[in-house]
Amino acid sequence: MRVIVEQIRAEMIRCKITEAELARRMETSRSQVHRLLSTEQKSATIETLARAAGAVGKRLDVKLVAA
C-alpha cells in the first residue's frame, strides 16, 4: 500500500494537484486525503486507493500472483 500512496503523491506533484484539489476530485474532505497520504497510513481500502488513482488520472491494477 505504501508504494501505491507514493505513486499517487508523485502524480500529484507531477500534475500540480493539491490535497484540496484531490479531495474535490474524490468528493471527500481534505482531511481524509491527508490521512490517506500520511506515511503512517495502514488501513486504506482498495476502493479508496482506486478513487485516488482515478483522481490523478491513473487506474489501480490489483492482481494475485504466485507466492
Q: Are 52 and 6 in contact (CB under 8 A)?
A: no
Read off the pLDDT band of 39 (50, 70, 90).
Answer: confident
Stretch 17-32: mean pLDDT = 97
The domains of the chain, with CATH numbers, are 2-55 (1.10.260)
Predicted pLDDT of residue 12: 98
